[in-house]
Amino acid sequence: MHILAEITPLDPVAGTRPTLRVSSLQDRGVNGLNGVKWWPGITRKPSMGITLFDGDFSSGVNSGQISMEIAVTALEKLDANARRFVWAGASITVYSGATGQAWPWTKIFVGRVEGFRVQANKLSLSATVDEEPFQAKVLSATYAGTGGLEGGADIKGKSKPWAFGAPKNIEPILIDSINSVFQVSAYGTIKAVTTLYERGAAFSASFGNYADYTALVAASIPAGRWATCLASGLIRLGAPPYGVITADIEGDYLSSTWRRLPGAILQRICSALSISGGLIDTTSLNALDSALAALPAGGNISLYLTEQQEVIDLARDIAISCNAQAGVSWLGQLFTTRVAIASPVASLDAQAKSMPRVVSNVEIQVSPPYTRIQMGGDKCWRVQSFDEIAFQAELIDKGLYSASVVYRDGNIVSLDDGSRWLFVGATPVSGSTPTDVNTNWARMTNAVQSAAIAAAQAAADAAQADADAALTTLTNIASDSLLTPDEKPRVIQDRDAIVAEQAGIDAQASAFSITTEKTTYDTAVSALTTYLATLTSPVLWSNLTGNTTIVGSTFRQKFLDVYAARQALLNKIAAEAAKRADLALGSNLVVNSEFTNGLTGWSAGWDGDSGLPVTRGLNLTGSPNNWFGTKNVAWAKVTGTPAAGKVFDAYYSLGPGATNLDKGLRWAVPVMPGDRLYYSALVAGHRCNVLANLQFWDGNGTYVSEVASATAPVATSTTDFSDGDPTQATRVGAFVNIPNGSAIRFAFLNIRAVCPGGQADPYIFFSDGFIAKVDPNQTVPPVYTMGPGDRRATEGAPSGTLVAGVSADTVATATTNFNASNDRNSAAVAAPTVATDGTAVDHTLQSNGSADISFEWSWGGTEGDIDGFLVYLYQSSSASAYTFGTTPAAETVFTLPANKRAFILFGTAPDQYYSFAVQAYRSVDKDINAAGAIKSTLVKATGGGENPYRPSASVAFAGDVTGTVSGASAATVASGAGKANNGLDSSGNVLTDKVNTSSVQDNAITLLYSQVSGSTYYGNNAWQTIVTYNITTTMAADLHLSAFVALGFASGARNWGIRILLNGVTVVYRSGGAYNDAPSCAEKASVGAGTHTITLDFLGQDSSVVCGAGQSSLIADRRYK
């Protein structure tokens, strides 16, 4: 792939933005694409980046970025003033294509330069996409405060609202308090106002709809009724409002189209704000809508916009709410994309023994898995306080529920789990605990935190406070390295508290299978006890009859070790409690429940008490039907005819592990006393009855108990799971509660068969294993969802692994390709070979006087191992051999692809000397080579006549001029030249018999001198020499001196001056303070024989006065008597 880039920097002097075009290679077919010149000068191809997903839906898409490097010498070929250009803010367009590909090439980036750096001859650019069109404000209209539809003076300048979808309980804006007119949306027609509320109580149906504001205000609407003007999003009450007015509406309905999907809403907003349709990636927005529309709820969203927001921010917020991302692409288009989760196949090794190497790993809190989860709800856009609600009694928040308090109508309480309840009973009562079956109470909100989490976190917080207080006291006690009788009781109290609480803390740690922090804690307590026993001088530390000598720092450190270890353990307990409770209610916790990763996370079950001959596997083939297809299906079979009542298991939902505890931590479902579970599986039994069985382990991985569901009937022709069709299977399952005080900490599924007897070769078929935590009062089975991947992805061979939101198989493939690519190849690069027999460099002279010079080399390596060749060129007027690297700024480097073995320099001066060299290179990552490239030895052309190489000693025009020369026909010029040749000798001197000496008059001009300025000069309020040269006279002569200067004024009139000097003495001077862009001066001076220096000086008040290169001249006429 080759790159073309088009950039428009600012020329600060000319005030223009020239267009510069560069390419990543020298190829005549590429460098002239689209009829313009693309100069080879990109030394590092663009690096492009855009962050689409961070593994969570907590942030939006970052702006697309690009960085690249360009040779400044190449830019100077396009514009000689390139070094003074300002690159920040320049527009940049980047194309990609292949050699031979016709124009147009693929546009891959459109944006603006954000930062640049010029170092030596390298221009480094970084650019981002242009988000400016999407920084437009969504709410483009504000109330003028002039009355009517423009509202009163009190809302002047307030943004007008805009409603989309079907927002509930929105609070409209009162625009006309005299006529009780409210506005819900101001950017065109809305579809409907479905319900209107006052203080939360609904009005009756609308009184009618009116065409416009005027008609609405003129209508006679009875008190207690309301009407609308849907065309302007207006509501009018028949009487002044008594309380807060809210409404359920169906919003924006432009052109009779009710837009409810996010992509359609964003396109409507962009269109209303006149954002060009070419800047909208409608394909991606429509694709998002199509994906959401396929969801059970249809993917509709509702918006009520009253606060100002930029389009890009709104797009990102909307996309995140739909488990998608929005941003501006590399082409400057607004787009959306959904996150796709593929089937992972790679492993990440925390021991850093395989690629990609894991530098560090840590368990972090993440959001619930997003695949196959649909979340939604009707947002209440106006949350009302108690006094804004019309209720039969006063609403009073009474805080936490207490059994001793008498509650009455309107009282609101909270439970320890965070749920909130409203008392609705007719009779005040105490001791009536809020539950869903207690008719005295109505649930307002569900639980937000389990009591176990709250208790664990409270214990950790309290322990930290106690430790801080205790350490402060102990520090004071130990400050004099002496325990006195009055200080000892406090120390004894602290030691006793530490010993007393140890057993309880250890029990909690064991319940959560916490070992490392528990060991550290127990060791610290033991060390403290041992240390205290050594404090016996002159009496034991706990003896109150006298002082005990201590080392203060050691004494304090022993207690500090205990408190620090205790705090770490309690924090770990709280974290584990939260982790278990964070498992979303109703979501499937069985790893690899649909066998998308084979049998990962599953192991062979029990063969029965008599060791039945059981074989097991996944996706059994058969005839005429297979037992898989629509779904992956696991199976188990007993060979023979087992007796009635014999049982065997297919698989456990446990993967491998060194111990049962390892298996439980990695594969099983963590549970706690008080949890309610639902478990099930989709099963079919051939010649046996099949059930779902749930087994329990304690925190050490020891078997505790198990429960079983009802059995599925023996399969018939419609329930045999053939072709993996889920409709030909039966889901069996049950609810189970983990008793309070139970030692159960892990749960896992196994699928069991009960043999009826007399049936040969019974089979179990099953899929879609399901274990979910549910609400304590739930009785309706939750809807099945697919389970997660491995819960500890950095260990073993995980399934379900995601790396920054990308599936592990993609990462694995990318890693393999990455390590195999040139970017990771650290091998040395072989050098090219340049012939030394004088055949490496050659040229062709063109009829226009220029030369095309070719340079050739050979290379014996594998082209796939390099990225190309770098050809170095040095041009000079000197015939001396040049060593590359001597003057890098004067060298030009050209980049050629790996398949090239020749370079042609077109249209150059033939009378200059040229040195050539070449090296092969490979671009690599900077951890392979800090320079970002590995290069071969630089090989120079050193053959005869090639070090350096000069095409011709002169510049010869080989063509035949047939037109005009300075307006004269070629024939006239040829005739005149012939006549002139008749009067000249072979050296160009006038023949003596061709001059009529009698016609030479006094003061005849014998020689004219002239020279122009070679550089640009900026005024600095001092004289600057812009032209100087010498004139030699052989006798007394007159010099007629004249100067013509072109000045530029960037900031209006400024002081200026020009002068001519002869041998350092001013001959003539001119100055001014007004704008003059072409001042001149002249004078005559007499001189004797000798060499005389004439000089033209320029003075400008400041740098805004400019004397341009080649725009000023100094002329001298030498006249002899």
**pLDDT tens readout for residues 708-717:** 888 776 766 5
Question: Residue 156 pLDDT > 70, yes or no?
Answer: yes
Task: Tell if the pTM clears 0.75, that is, is over it.
Answer: no
Question: Residue 87 pLDDT > 80, yes or no?
Answer: yes
Confidence grade of residue 804 (pLDDT, cut at 50, 70, 90): very low
Read off the tokens for 289: 């809508």
Residues 635 and 766 grouped into a single domain:
yes
Confidence grade of residue 998 (pLDDT, cut at 50, 70, 90): very low
Confidence grade of residue 818 (pLDDT, cut at 50, 70, 90): low
At 855 the three-state DSSP class reads strand
Confidence grade of residue 916 (pLDDT, cut at 50, 70, 90): very high
Question: Residue 447 pLDDT > 80, yes or no?
Answer: no
Q: Can you tell me the mean pLDDT for 937-946?
A: 94
At 234 the three-state DSSP class reads strand
| Cβ 160 vs Cβ 183: under 8 Å | yes
In a domain, 475, yes or no: yes
pLDDT tens digits, 574-597: 777 665 554 556 778 999 999 988
pLDDT tens digits, 372-427: 455 556 677 777 776 677 666 778 888 888 888 899 988 999 887 778 889 999 89
Residues 307 and 193 grouped into a single domain:
yes
Nearest Cα residue to 441 out of 430, 451, 452, 432:
432
Confidence grade of residue 796 (pLDDT, cut at 50, 70, 90): very low
Is the link from the previous residue into 104 a cis peptide, with omega within 30 of 0? Answer: yes
- What's the confidence (pLDDT) of residue 322? 82
Beta-sheet pairing, 676-686 with 763-774: antiparallel
Sequence-ordered list of residues with C-beta below 8 angstroms from that of 938, at least 6 positions apart, any chain: 872, 884, 917, 918, 919
Sequence-ordered list of residues with C-beta below 8 angstroms from that of 1072, at least 6 positions apart, any chain: 1055, 1056, 1057, 1079
Burial class of residue 192 in the structure, from the number of CB atoms within 10 Å of its CB (0-12 exposed, 13-18 middle, 19+ buried): middle
Q: What is the mean pLDDT of the chain?
A: 85
pLDDT tens digits, 288-340: 999 888 876 688 999 999 999 999 999 988 888 888 888 898 888 999 988 76
Question: Residue 921 pLDDT > 90, yes or no?
Answer: yes
Is the link from the previous residue into 356 a cis peptide, with omega within 30 of 0? Answer: yes
User: Of 301, 326, 351, which residue constitutes the final position of a domain?
Assistant: 326
- What's the confidence (pLDDT) of residue 820? 55
Q: Phi first, then psi: give them for residue 1001, nearest 5 degrees.
A: -100, 160
Exposure string (b/e) for 983-1020, b if CB count within 10 Å is 16 or more?
eeeeeeeeeeeeeeeeeeeeeeeeeeeeebbeebbebe
Residues 178 and 294 grouped into a single domain:
yes
**Angstrom distance (rounded) from CA 736 to CA 734:** 7
For the ranges 94-108, 505-519, 520-534, 885-899, which has the lowest average pLDDT? 505-519
> What ranges in 141-261 are assigned the alpha helix state H?
213-218
Question: Residue 1005 pLDDT > 60, yes or no?
Answer: no
DSSP letter assigned to residue 972: H
Residues 208 and 312 grouped into a single domain:
yes
- What's the confidence (pLDDT) of residue 799? 36
In a domain, 505, yes or no: yes
Q: Phi first, then psi: give them for residue 440, nearest 5 degrees.
A: -75, -15
Q: Can you tell me the mean pLDDT for 933-948?
A: 94
Confidence grade of residue 793 (pLDDT, cut at 50, 70, 90): very low
In a domain, 382, yes or no: no
- What's the confidence (pLDDT) of residue 265? 95
Share of the chain above pLDDT 90, in %: 49
Residue range(s) defining the domain that contains residue 1012: 1005-1120
For the ranges 254-258, 615-619, 954-958, which has the lowest average pLDDT? 954-958
- What's the confidence (pLDDT) of residue 652? 95
Residues 886 and 913 grouped into a single domain:
yes
How many separate helices (H) and strands (E) can be counted in the chain? 13, 59
Share of the chain above pLDDT 70, in %: 87
Beta-sheet pairing, 676-686 with 891-896: unpaired
- What's the confidence (pLDDT) of residue 190? 96
What is the CATH number for 612? 2.60.120.260
Residues 182 and 278 grouped into a single domain:
yes
User: Of 546, 580, 614, which residue constitutes the final position of a domain?
Assistant: 580
Q: Can you tell me the mean pLDDT for 237-259?
A: 92
What is the CATH number for 882? 2.60.40.10
Residues 49 and 84 grouped into a single domain:
yes
Burial class of residue 232 in the structure, from the number of CB atoms within 10 Å of its CB (0-12 exposed, 13-18 middle, 19+ buried): buried
Confidence grade of residue 672 (pLDDT, cut at 50, 70, 90): confident
Question: Residue 813 pLDDT > 60, yes or no?
Answer: no
**Angstrom distance (rounded) from CA 655 to CA 641:** 30
**Angstrom distance (rounded) from CA 285 to CA 262:** 8
Q: Which helix (H) or strand (E) holds 560?
A: helix 552-581
Question: Residue 1070 pLDDT > 80, yes or no?
Answer: yes
Confidence grade of residue 257 (pLDDT, cut at 50, 70, 90): very high
In a domain, 23, yes or no: yes
In a domain, 363, yes or no: no
Question: Residue 53 pLDDT > 60, yes or no?
Answer: yes
Q: Which residues pair with 174 in a beta bridge?
A: 182
Sequence-ordered list of residues with C-beta below 8 angstroms from that of 977, at least 6 positions apart, any chain: none
At 810 the three-state DSSP class reads helix
Q: Where are the beta strands (DSSP E) in 687-787?
A: 689-698, 703-708, 730-737, 744-754, 763-774
In a domain, 172, yes or no: yes
In a domain, 343, yes or no: no
Taking the CB of residue 937, how many other CB atoms lie within 10 A of it?
12
Q: Which residues pair with 444 in a beta bridge?
A: none
Beta-sheet pairing, 420-423 with 411-414: antiparallel
Nearest Cα residue to 449 out of 589, 570, 585, 567:
585
Confidence grade of residue 186 (pLDDT, cut at 50, 70, 90): very high
**Angstrom distance (rounded) from CA 619 to CA 393:** 63
In which residue are the tokens 């432009």 written?
254
Residues 53 and 189 grouped into a single domain:
no
Number of compact structural domains in the chain: 8
Residues 158 and 284 grouped into a single domain:
yes
- What's the confidence (pLDDT) of residue 710? 80
**Angstrom distance (rounded) from CA 1080 to CA 1114:** 10
Residues 1011 and 968 grouped into a single domain:
no
Q: Phi first, then psi: give them for residue 234, nearest 5 degrees.
A: -110, 150
Burial class of residue 253 in the structure, from the number of CB atoms within 10 Å of its CB (0-12 exposed, 13-18 middle, 19+ buried): buried
Sequence-ordered list of residues with C-beta below 8 angstroms from that of 898, at least 6 positions apart, any chain: 863, 864, 866, 867, 868, 869, 920
3-class SS letters over 788-805: CCCCCCCCCCCCCCEECC
**Angstrom distance (rounded) from CA 790 to CA 788:** 7
Is the link from the previous residue into 241 a cis peptide, with omega within 30 of 0? Answer: no
Question: Residue 802 pLDDT > 70, yes or no?
Answer: no
Read off the tokens for 655: 């993967």
Q: Which helix (H) or strand (E) holds 473?
A: helix 451-478
Q: Can you tell me the mean pLDDT for 655-681?
A: 89
- What's the confidence (pLDDT) of residue 1051? 79
**Angstrom distance (rounded) from CA 1119 to CA 1003:** 6
- What's the confidence (pLDDT) of residue 814? 55
**Angstrom distance (rounded) from CA 140 to CA 129:** 24
Nearest Cα residue to 670 out of 582, 750, 757:
582
DSSP letter assigned to residue 828: P
Confidence grade of residue 197 (pLDDT, cut at 50, 70, 90): very high
User: Of 773, 791, 824, which residue constitutes the final position of a domain?
Assistant: 773
At 768 the three-state DSSP class reads strand
Question: Residue 533 pLDDT > 90, yes or no?
Answer: yes
pLDDT tens digits, 598-629: 899 999 999 987 789 999 999 998 877 888 88
Residues 993 and 1102 grouped into a single domain:
no
**Angstrom distance (rounded) from CA 550 to CA 536:** 9
Nearest Cα residue to 787 out of 667, 660, 958:
667
Nearest Cα residue to 867 out of 785, 930, 924, 927:
924
Higher pLDDT, 991 or 424: 424
Confidence grade of residue 468 (pLDDT, cut at 50, 70, 90): confident
Question: Residue 889 pLDDT > 80, yes or no?
Answer: yes
- What's the confidence (pLDDT) of residue 798? 37
**Angstrom distance (rounded) from CA 504 to CA 379:** 45
Cα end-to-end span (Å), the chain: 73
Q: Which residues pair with 618 in a beta bridge?
A: 634
Residues 286 and 157 grouped into a single domain:
yes
In a domain, 538, yes or no: yes
**Angstrom distance (rounded) from CA 110 to CA 89:** 13
At 117 the three-state DSSP class reads strand
In which residue are the tokens 């007004």 written?
1074
For the ranges 268-282, 302-316, 360-374, 975-989, which has the lowest average pLDDT? 360-374
